[in-house]
Chain A
Amino acid sequence: MYRTDWTSVHNKEKFIERAFSLLVIVVINLLVSSTALAVGLIPVPTLKNVTTRAKVTYDPAKQWYRYHYSVDNPATNTGEIWNIKIDISRRFIDGSVRLNPNGLTIPLGTATSTFTEELADYKPPLGFPLGQSVVSIGQQLPSGWDGGFGRDGYAGFSSGNDAVRITPGSSLGGFVLISPGLPTIRKMQVIPDWMLVVPNLDDVTEAEKQQAGDIERKIIFHTHTLGPAGVTNFGGFSHWNLLRDDIEKAITLGWIPDTTLAGTIRTQLAFARTALDAQDGTLAKTRLQTLLSTVQAITPGQKIRREAYDLIVLNIQSLLKHTANTPIPFEPAYSLTPPTSTIPLGKRQTLVASAFNVAFNNAPIPGEFFEARIVEGPHMGQSWFLQTGANGEAPFSYVGTKVGKDHIIISQLLGLIKKSP
C-alpha cells in the first residue's frame, strides 16, 4: 500500500512536470509567433471578418455586366484597407478570342486609359504568366481611389492617398468593374495598409525582407466574390460547365444556405444539361427557363445571397439567349391527292400537291417547287409549275374534255430557270 501510494504521488509529480513543460512550450511558441510577425517600425495590422458584397447588373445596349462591390471593415480590426483586388485572369484555354474591349476605360489617378492601352504595358519580360492574360474590363471608382490591373492577373482598387482608406468600423462602396465577361466566382483580396519601414534602407537584412514578405502575404484577407469570366463562347459547353461548377462552389461557400433550394437548383440545372447532352437545345432551354423561374421566385436574402442570385440568373439568361436550338431533322416527302377519282366529262378536277417533312411530324414544307404533268391518258402533255404555300400545299386543276384515264405525276423542282429575253 505504502509503495503504491508513493508511486501514485510520484506519477502525479511527473504529470505536473509534463504539464509545466507543455505550458512552457506553448508560451515559447506564442512568443516566437508574435516575434515572427514583427519587423520594421510599423505595427502589423489585423484584418479579419471583412464583409464584401457584390451585385451585378446587365446593360443590354452595350452588352456589359457591371459588378458593384462594397467592403465593410469591422471595428475590431486594426488594419486600414487601402487595396482591394479581384482576380480577372483569363486562361487562353478558355478561348483565344478576347471579349470586346471597345469603350472600356480604366481611371488611373490623373489619367484615364483604355483597357487596350493598359494591356499593352504587359509585354515580355513583364507579361502575364505563360498561357494567361486578363479579361477585358473597365472600372468606376469612389473618389480618391485608383483603378488598374497588374501582372498577377488581378484588377485593383487602391486608395490614392491616406485620407480615403477604409478604416476599422467603416464601409465603402462604389467600386465597379465593367466587362462583357459573364459573372463567375472569383478570388478577392482585401489588403490592409502596411509596409516595411526601417530607420536606414542600407541596414535592411535579407531576414528582415523575408519576414516582411511573409507579413505582406499573411495580412491579406482572402475571400470570394463575383467577377467577369474569361469564357468567350457564350452558350457553349464551357459556359454550361462554368455555371455548373460555379453553382457547386456557391453552395460550398454558403451563398445558398437553404439546402432545399440548393438541391433544386443543382437538380434542375442537371436536368437541363441532360437535354443539352442529348443535343436537344430547345428542350434544354425549356428546362433552363424552369430553373430561372425557380430562382427568380426568391428574393435574395436568407435563402440565397445576392451574389449567387445574380450569378445564376444572369448566366441562365445568357444561356437562354446563346444556346443553339435543336437542329430540326429534314426529310421531305411529297404527295398528290386525291390518289384516284372519277369525274363526269366536262367537269373540273382539282388536285393538291403537298410537301411535308417526314422526319419532323410531317410538318408542311412551304415554298417547294413542283411540276405536275399528265404523263399518260387522253390529256397527256398538260403540265403545271407549282409552289407550295404556307400550308405546304399547291393546288391545281383541269377540266376533263376527253373520256379516258389520265395518269398524273408530280416532280420536285430544285429551281426554276427563266429564259433570258
Chain B
Amino acid sequence: MPHEPSFPNNVRTVTRTFACYNAFDGSPLNCDFSLKITGLKSPANDIANNGGHVHDTNRPLILNRGKLEYSADQDSARLSVRGTTLATTPLVYAEVMHKLPEVSGKIETDATVTSPHGWVCVSSCYTKTSWRDTITYDVGIKGLVELPGSLNTENPATAVGDYIKVRGDANVHPKGSFGTPFALAALKNIAKKYKKLKGRALSINDMSLPKGGLFDVHDNWSTPHKTHRRGKDGDINQDGIACLSDKKLRRAIDAAIKPPTKGQTRRYCESGGRKHIDLEPF
C-alpha cells in the first residue's frame, strides 16, 4: 500500500504504535522498544525502489532530513528511537511519528520490542523475549504510467510521431516522463493537434518520476521543481519557438484540455522560453 510523499504545504506521516500486554489479564506492561529507518530497500538501483532517482545515496528518508518523533526518546540518533512503552503515561502505548520525505522510494524500517525481565513473548515472536518486524514504506503516488517512447533520439522537425522526449538530466532521472493516464491522454492529444498545426513533433521535457514526489532536476534532493509531483503536469521544450509566440501550442492545449470555467490557468510561460502545462487539475 503506497503512502503519498509529503508536499511543500502538506506533511504526510506514518505513525507506529508499540505496546505490551499481559496475555492473561490484558494489563499493560513496560517493554523496551526500538525503531530504526534502515535505508532504501535493496537493490537501490532498482527504479521500483529508488523512485527514479539514480544519484547519490544521501537521500532524505524523513521530511527535511528531520528525526523520528517520539516524546520520550532515549536515542539521539536521527533515524532511530528507543524507549519504553509506558513512558508516556497516562497512555499505555508509545507512538512514533515518521514524517515522510517529499522524495518517493521504498523506505525500510526495523522495529523491536523486548519484554520486561521475567516475561516471555507468546505470539509471533522473534526470540523468546522479543518481537520484531521490518516494514517497508512504499512512498509514492500510485497509478502513474510512462509516456511511451525513448529519449533524445529524434529531431522534432522530422520525427514520425506526434512527440519526442528530450530531457537534460536523463542520466540521473532516466524515467522522468510519467503521468496519470488522463494526463498522458491529454498530452498525446495536444501533441497530435500540435503536429497538425505546426508540422513538427512536440518536444516534451520533464513530467513526473515513476512514483511522483520531488523531482530534483539538480540532483540535490531539493527544488526547483515545485510541481511535477503528481503526474499531472509537463514541461515543453522551447524548441526554437518562444513560449509566448507559440500560438499553435496554445491552441492545441486549449482544444485538447477544456479551458477551466473557473480556477487556475492551465498553461504558462517562462520568460526564457520554457513552457508548462497543467494537464489535469490538481
Binding site for B on A (CB under 8 A): 40-42, 82-83, 108-111, 113, 121, 125-126, 129, 146, 148-152, 156, 158-162, 195-204, 206, 209-210, 212-213, 216-217
Contacts and interface: CB of A to CB of B under 8 A. Distances in A.
A126 B185 contact: yes
A212 B268 contact: yes
23 contacts: A110-B196, A121-B192, A121-B193, A125-B181, A126-B185, A146-B247, A146-B251, A148-B193, A150-B254, A151-B256, A160-B248, A161-B247, A197-B244, A201-B235, A201-B270, A202-B227, A210-B263, A210-B264, A212-B264, A212-B265, A212-B268, A213-B266, A217-B262
Interface of B: 181-182, 185-186, 189, 192-193, 195-199, 223-227, 235, 243-245, 247-248, 250-251, 254-271, 274, 276, 278
Most B-side CB within 10 Å, residue of A82, A197, A206: A197
A41 B245 contact: no
Contacts of B268: 40, 195-198, 201, 204, 209, 212
A200 to B, nearest CB: 6
B255 A156 contact: yes
B122 to A, nearest CB: 53
Q: Which 7 A-B pairs have the closest CB atoms?
A: A110-B199, A109-B197, A150-B255, A209-B264, A202-B224, A212-B265, A196-B268
B243 A195 contact: yes
Nearest to A159: B247
A111 B195 CA distance: 9
Contacts of A158: 247, 250-251
B255 A213 contact: no
Contacts of B261: 217
Most B-side CB within 10 Å, residue of A156, A200, A209, A210: A209
Determine chain B's interface SS by DSSP, over half rule: mixed
Given A109-B198, A110-B197, A213-B265, A151 B270 contact: no
B255 A198 contact: no
Contacts of A210: 263-264
Given A150-B258, A195-B244, 19 more contacts: A108-B193, A109-B196, A110-B198, A126-B189, A150-B259, A160-B248, A161-B245, A196-B267, A197-B243, A197-B269, A197-B270, A198-B268, A198-B270, A200-B224, A201-B268, A201-B270, A202-B226, A204-B268, A213-B264
A82 B269 contact: no
A108 to B, nearest CB: 4
A162 B245 CA distance: 6
A146 B248 contact: yes
B225 A126 contact: no
A197 B271 CA distance: 6
Nearest to B192: A121
Given A109-B199, A126-B256, A213-B260, A196 B247 contact: no
B248 A151 contact: no
Contacts of A162: 245, 247
Given A150-B258, A151-B255, A216 B265 contact: yes
Given A108-B197, A148-B193, A83 B251 contact: yes
Nearest to B260: A213
Given A160-B197, A197-B270, A209-B265, A109 B243 contact: no
B278 to A, nearest CB: 8
B112 to A, nearest CB: 42
A121 B245 contact: no
A278 B254 CA distance: 48
A195 B267 contact: yes
B196 A113 contact: yes
Contacts of A150: 254-256, 258-259
Contacts of B248: 109, 146, 160
Contacts of A148: 193, 197, 251, 255
A146 B199 CA distance: 13
Contacts of A203: 224, 226
A122 B66 CA distance: 47
Contacts of A121: 189, 192-193, 256
Contacts of A82: 247
Nearest to A82: B247
